[in-house]
Structure 1
Amino acid sequence: MAGCLNYLVCFLAVTAVSFAKTWMYPEDIDRGMYLFRAWKYEHGISYPSMRVENRKFKVFMENLKHINKLNVLHKGSPEFALNHFADMSPAEFRSTILMPKRVPPKFESERYIRREQVDPLPESFDWRSKNMVTSVKDQGSAGSCWAFSTIGNLEGQWAMAGKQLTNFSVEQVVDCDGMEDVKGGNADCGVFGGWPYLAYQYIMKAGGLETWEDYWYCSGLGGAPGTCEVCPAPGYNTSLCGPPIPYCNMSQSCVDKLDRSKFVSGFKVNTWKAISENETEIAKQLIQIGPLSVALDAELLQFYHRGVFSTYFCSKTRLDHAVLLVGYGKEKGFFETTDYWTVKNSWGHKWGESGYFRIKRGDGMCGINTAVTTGVLGA
C-alpha cells in the first residue's frame, strides 16, 4: 500500500478478482469490512453511532453482492462498481435520489418540433467540445434532478444564443416552482420530483433566473454546511405532490430568498417545445437546438461505472430521473458496433464517466426518448 494515492483502488487491486474486464468484489465479512473501511476513507464518510455504522455495513455487503450480480449479468459491459451510493440500499436510493415513477407526459401536437433536414447525421457529436455545457453538479440527497435537467437545457440555449456560458440557479427552481398540470396529473414538487416542461412554465411566469452563485444550491446537501431547510414552493399541490416537509425555515424560502433584481439580464424563456420519440429525429434536433432535457428509468444506474448502458431490466414507460442529453456516438467492439447517447447526470463528477453516462441509442432504452423537451429563449 505504500505510495498508493487512492486507498480504495489499491485495496481492490489486492482483494478483488477480474471478471470480463471488471472487478468482482469479495463477499465474505472479513474482506468486506476492510473494503468498507477503505470506502469510508475514500469518501470521507463517518456515522453518528456504531448502531448506524453496523446497519450501513450490512447494506454495503448486500450492495457488493448486487454489483457482482450486475457485472455477471451484463458480462462486464457496462461495468458496475462501488461509488458514493454504496451504503444506500436500492430501495433507499429510489426513495431518496430518484423521483416516484411516472408515465411520460403526452403533449398536444403543436408542441412538437418538426423540422426537415436532409443532411446525413455525422457519426458522432458532442456539445461539450463546443463549450455549450456547464460543469457536472451533484443534486445530493434530494429528488431535484428535474430542475438540474431543465437548467442544463437552458444553460445550453443561452450559450447557443451567443451568450457567455453561465451556471443558472437550480435552487431557485426547486424552491419557487409550484407549477401544476392537473389534467395530466403532474406537478413540480421541489425535492420530491417534478417535470422539466412545467419548470419552463415556471421560469416563463417568474420572468427569469438568478445565477448559481447568487442563489446557490443547498436543498440536497444532507446536513452539510450550507444546507437549507426546504420550504414548499408557492402553489405547492399537496394532492399531486403529497405532504411537504413538516418543518422549514421561512428565512430560507423562495419568498425570502428570491431577488428579481439579480435575474440575468436579457435572459427570458418565451415557450417550450417537445421532440418526437424517433431517435434519429432526436439526434437531428440535438445538433440543431443544443443539449436536450430527457428522462428515463434510472433504477439500475445506481452503481454504473463506465461503458454503454444497455439492459433488459428497465422500463420504457415508468420514468424516475431527468438528465441532459449532450451528444451521441458509436462504440466499436470486436464483433459489433453500438450506437449510444452521451448524457450528463447530476450525481457528482465522481459518479460514472466523470459525471456522465452513455446509454444505448436506437431502442428507446429505459424510455430515454419518451420525454424530450427544450426551452425556447426570446429577446
Structure 2
Amino acid sequence: MILLFLHLHLTILPCSNVFNVKKIYDFIPKVNLEEIDRLNSLSKGEEDHRARYGLTKLSDMSKDEYKNLHLSDEKMTKSPHLYGRSWIQYKDWKRHSYMVTRKKRAVLPMQVDWRTKGVVGGVRDQGLCGACWAFSTVGIMETMSAIGNGKLVQLSVQEAIDCAGLGNSGCAGGDICLLLDWLAITKTAVDTDKQYPLRLTDGKCRVNKTASGVRVNTFTCDSFVGAEEKILDAIATHGPVAVAVNALTWQNYLGGVIQFHCSGTPADLNHAVQLVGYDLTSEVPYYIAKNSWGPEFGNAGYIHLALGSNICGLANEVASVDVL
C-alpha cells in the first residue's frame, strides 16, 4: 500500500500542488535523496545535455530492492564471440568496416532514429518480472520484422519468458544472446502478443510448433568495447540492437544524457535495453536507448547514453538479428 500510495503521488505531483511534498519525501530512502543530489552535482555540460536526476516511480525503493527487482535480470554467462556469428563475419563486412576518422565517420548518417520509420513498438513495462533480456531481444526482432515487411506487429515477450531454455530463467533472469541462441537452435517462432499475451509471471510454455510467427534467421553477438563505431554502423545500416548495460545509477533518472558515474565493466552488467538510434549532431553525442520500465520513466521510456566511452557497459554485449 505504501508503494502504491507513493507511486500515485509521484505521478500527479507535477500537475497539482495540493499534496505535501515533505510527506512524499518521508517515503524516500535517505540514500536515494543523497544519490540524487550527488549525481546532479557531478553531472557536467550544458543544461539541455547533462543527465538530470530526481524522484521517479522507483525512488521509493531501497537500493537493495531496486537491484533485486530491476537489476537481476540480465546475466551474461559467456563471452559474446562464443554465440551465433560475429558481425565481423558478415559476408559484406568489407562494406561496413572502417576506422573512425572524420572522413570515414561522415559516411554514416549523423542522426538515426528508427522510431521515425514506424518500426519501433511502444515502450512496455516489465513490472516486477526480471525479463529485460526478453523485452529487449523480442523488441529488436519485431522491429527487424517490420523493417522487412513494412508491418509492425507486437511480438510475445511472454513466450520467451515461459519457454526459453539454455540457462534463461523467465522472470528470474536471462541473457539477450542466450535467447537468440535458443531461438536459432530450436527454430522456435515467436508468436504475436495477441496470441500469447503478456502476464509478467512465469508460466507453462504454450509455444505453438506450427505457428507462423517470427523466427531467427541469423544473429550476431559481439563485444565492441573500444570500437563503438561498429555499433553505430550496425544501427545505421542494419537496425536496432540489444545491449547489456549496468543500470545501477538509473533509479532516479529523469532525462538528459548519461555521461558519467556508470561502471562499464562486464561484471557489473545487470540490465538490457534496445539501442534504436543515435545523434551525432548533439553537443554530447548519444545513443537512444529504449527501456522496459514503462513510458513514464526517463525520456518517455527512453534513456540517452553518451557515445564513445562504453558508458554503463553498453559495448560489452551487443546483439543484432535477422529474422524470417
With the length of structure 1 as denominator, give the TM-score of the two structures.
0.71
Q: State the shift of 1:313 in Å.
A: 4.0
Equivalent residue in structure 2 for 1:99, among 56, 72, 76: 72
Whether the aligned pair in 1 keeps the contact of 2:247 and 2:262 (CA below 8 Å) is no
- In 1, the alpha carbon distance for the partners of 2:74 and 2:177 equals 17
Equivalent residue in structure 2 for 1:111, among 67, 85, 99: 85
Equivalent residue in structure 2 for 1:215, among 196, 203, 207: 196
Q: Does 1:340 align with 2:309?
A: no
Whether the aligned pair in 2 keeps the contact of 1:294 and 1:325 (CA below 8 Å) is yes
Q: State the shift of 1:270 in Å.
A: 2.3
**Equivalent residue runs for 1:81-92 within 5 Å:** 81-92=54-65
- In 2, the alpha carbon distance for the partners of 1:319 and 1:105 equals 13
- In 2, the alpha carbon distance for the partners of 1:362 and 1:371 equals 15
Whether the aligned pair in 1 keeps the contact of 2:73 and 2:174 (CA below 8 Å) is no
Q: Which runs of 5+ in 1 are unaligned?
A: 1-5, 16-29, 37-56, 180-186, 220-227, 231-251
- In 1, the alpha carbon distance for the partners of 2:21 and 2:122 equals 36
Q: Which runs of 5+ in 2 are unaligned?
A: 1-10, 97-103
Secondary structure at the residue paired with 2:196?
Answer: coil
Equivalent residue in structure 2 for 1:296, among 234, 237, 245: 245
**Equivalent residue runs for 1:1-379 within 5 Å:** 7-10=12-15, 31-33=21-23, 35=24, 57-74=26-43, 77-99=50-72, 105-108=79-82, 111-114=85-88, 115=93, 116-117=95-96, 120-179=107-166, 187-204=167-184, 205-219=186-200, 228=201, 230=202, 252-254=203-205, 257-264=206-213, 267-277=214-224, 278-317=227-266, 318-330=268-280, 332=282, 337-378=283-324
Secondary structure at the residue paired with 2:261?
Answer: coil
- 2:4 — aligned with what? none
Whether the aligned pair in 2 keeps the contact of 1:137 and 1:347 (CA below 8 Å) is yes
Indicate the larger mover: 309-318 or 135-144. Answer: 309-318
Whether the aligned pair in 2 keeps the contact of 1:276 and 1:282 (CA below 8 Å) is no
User: Is the alpha carbon distance of 1:163 and 1:124 closer, same or farther for their aligned partners in structure 2, counting shifts above 3 Å?
Assistant: closer
The number of aligned residues is 292
Q: State the shift of 1:340 in Å.
A: 0.6
Whether the aligned pair in 2 keeps the contact of 1:210 and 1:260 (CA below 8 Å) is no
- 1:40 — aligned with what? none
Q: Which runs of 4+ in 1 moved over 6 A?
A: none
- Greater Rg over alpha carbons, structure: 1
Task: Indicate the structure whose relative CO is greater, using CA pairs within 8 Å and at least 6 residues apart.
Answer: 2
Secondary structure at the residue paired with 1:300?
Answer: coil
- In 1, the alpha carbon distance for the partners of 2:161 and 2:83 equals 29
Q: State the shift of 1:105 in Å.
A: 2.4
- In 1, the alpha carbon distance for the partners of 2:132 and 2:38 equals 27
- In 1, the alpha carbon distance for the partners of 2:262 and 2:293 equals 21
Whether the aligned pair in 2 keeps the contact of 1:78 and 1:307 (CA below 8 Å) is yes
**Identity fraction in percent:** 30
CA RMSD of aligned residues (A): 2.5
- In 1, the alpha carbon distance for the partners of 2:300 and 2:30 equals 25
What are the superposed Cα offsets for residues 290-309 of structure 1, whole Å, 9 maximum, x if unpaired?
Answer: 11111111110111111001
- In 2, the alpha carbon distance for the partners of 1:216 and 1:170 equals 8
What are the superposed Cα offsets for residues 132-170 of structure 1, whole Å, 9 maximum, x if unpaired?
Answer: 211100000121000011101111210121241111000
Secondary structure at the residue paired with 2:149?
Answer: coil
Matched to 1:369, the amino acid is A
Matched to 1:350, the amino acid is E
With the length of structure 2 as denominator, give the TM-score of the two structures.
0.82
